[in-house]
Amino acid sequence: MDIKPGLEGVVFTDTYLSAIDGQVGKLSYCGHDIKDLAEKASFEEVTFLLWYQRLPAQSELQMLSNWLRENRTLPKPVWGIMHVLPDSATPMEALRTVASTLSMFDRSCIHEEHGGSSLCRAVSLAGKLPTIVASFDRLRKNKPPIEPHPELGHGANFLYMLTGEIPDEVSANALEKYLILLADHGMNASTFSARVTASTLGDVYSATVTALGTLKGPLHGGANEAAMKQFMEIGSLDRVDAWFDDKMSNGGRIMGLGHRVYKVEDPRSVILRKLTKQVTERQGMTKWYDIAAKLEERALAHPYFQERSIFPNVDYYSGPLLDGLGIPVDLFTPMFAISRVAGWTAHMLEQQHNNRLIRPRAHYAGPTDQAWIEMGTRIAQVEAEPDIQCVAGRPANCPAALRVSVTN
């Protein structure tokens, strides 16, 4: 039996949304090169492209822009939920939880006259996720949330809700491009998980929460945060060489370098590098960009990376860019979600259009033909250990046979 770990290389469906050519480093949405879209389009325009698989006319773009802006405000009960989230909640936990509650306050999307339930819900989520993220950040800092600005674009509005100040054109444009670059990317882990949920005929909210849970993992959406933390660990430009040499000597991993699909540089990284340099130089805060650039130079000159065709991916320069825009490190993964929700929902709509339940098989590799053992003759396989938990209650109350080791 030919098993593909991680489903690597397995094609399960046709898609008309995004295409990746990893050999030449090309990404396109509905046939439009990402370079053209990043240079010429707005995020709202790209969202229309993914949902309708064509570029909008001016009147259509205005219609969608208005619709998204009307959906930025959170229902009042949701504000109450956000106020009682525990102090220990992380931004991704808050986003995942609050996004899930939205379905209970969005009954208008059930009716077709409101634009069709799935598309209506897609608009609601795309409009509200930025509000959730910005509001959570302000609440945890004991600052009042800021209502969305009806006249600002998607990226500019987020920065306004985060800081209370209308951003300058360079910052707003940089965030808009970032959102465009991450809007969709083939059958990545979170998109696939969203399509699995959509294939069960689960609603758009359920599929989005599935995607958010998948994105939260450090090997997917959390990689941008991990890449930034490594720059912070290096700390200064004069420590790059020693840090790199130590990593290479001890088999450590450099986050943000390498991609399963691209065998050349990720085309999004090319654009993000230029954006990061522009934004950080304008802000007079080039420290993290300088460290990232020097670390990239050291890595790409090393035989290990050359032999394996390892280059920066989209996560590598995302961190220094977002930091340059004043966005906290632990909001980096939620920022990914604010962008990718356009792609997730586009894939849900596509899945529903020609649906077949996604139900792969697994090869059973365990024992067979096991003989039944009576209770009185069974031997406990797990004994008490210093760090324990019990399936039936607190560790102190656990019989030894129910105690299990706590491992990560």
Token pair recorded at residue 13: 């469906």
Whether residue 315 lies in the annotated active site: yes
Query: What is the C-alpha to C-alpha distance for residues 400 and 230, in angstroms, rounded to an integer?
Result: 42
Query: What is the C-alpha to C-alpha distance for residues 408 and 393, in angstroms, rounded to an integer?
Result: 20
Query: What is the C-alpha to C-alpha distance for residues 357 and 17, in angstroms, rounded to an integer?
Result: 20
Of 134, 139, 121, 20, the C-alpha closest to 81 is 139
Contact 348, 205 (CB under 8 A): no
Whether residue 259 lies in the annotated active site: yes
Query: What is the C-alpha to C-alpha distance for residues 219 and 259, in angstroms, rounded to an integer?
Result: 11
Count of all residues that appear for the chain in the document: 408
Of 161, 175, 105, the C-alpha closest to 133 is 161
Catalytic residue, candidates 154, 315, 323, 347 = 315
Torsion of CA 143, 145, 148, 152, to 10 degrees: 20
Buried b (16+ CB within 10 A) or exposed e, 120-157: bbbbbbbbbbbbbbbbbbbbbeeeebbebbeebbbbbb
Catalytic residue, candidates 154, 185, 220, 347 = 220
Whether residue 220 lies in the annotated active site: yes
Catalytic residue, candidates 154, 259, 323, 347 = 259
Point out the residues that are catalytic.
220, 259, 315
